[in-house]
Amino acid sequence: MESSFSDADKKKAVFEAMSPRRQKHILNKSGYENWDPFEKPKDPIDMRMDKSKRTSQMLVREFLQSCPMERYSNSYGRGVLEIAMGIINEDDRFIGMYEFALWHKKLLEDDGIE
């Protein structure tokens, strides 16, 4: 059975059913035109994957297994997990750190230091 209401009618009904405070928040944040009350939820964070189809847990496990034990500490492991999650979530802060690390490694190689 199809609904006789258009998406615009449904959107208006949802908006009007909200509290004035919530309506104001939507208007200030993105505007009514850009607001999508029917937006699909994002994947749960533990199910997000990178371009290689690995979760952050898989990436961290693989990386830490490849590291010599003398380099590993709790702080080191936390840093690995944090950047893995940041990269998977496409957080600019972590993308910047990753790109800087790649650039710095190449700089050292070009200078014959590493």
Answer with the residue of higher pLDDT: 23 or 7.
23
Q: What percent of the chain has pLDDT over 70?
A: 90
Radius of gyration of the chain (CA): 23
On whether both 59 and 98 belong to a single domain, the answer is yes
Single-letter residue type at 51 = K
- Estimate the crossing angle of helix 74-88 against helix 56-66, to 10 degrees: 140
As for how many domains the chain has, the answer is: 2
Cα-based angle 87, 93, 98 (whole degrees, multiple of 5)? 55
Q: What is the pLDDT of residue 91?
A: 92
On whether both 104 and 57 belong to a single domain, the answer is yes
On whether both 23 and 54 belong to a single domain, the answer is no
Three-state DSSP class for 35?
coil
On whether both 58 and 84 belong to a single domain, the answer is yes
Q: What is the pLDDT of residue 93?
A: 95
On whether both 18 and 64 belong to a single domain, the answer is no
On whether both 26 and 65 belong to a single domain, the answer is no
Q: What is the pLDDT of residue 110?
A: 93
On whether both 8 and 56 belong to a single domain, the answer is no
Neighbouring CB atoms inside 10 A of 12's CB total 14
Q: How far is CA 86 from CA 31, 49, 59, 67, 77, in A?
A: 28, 11, 12, 20, 14
Give the residue numbers spanning the domain of 68: 45-110
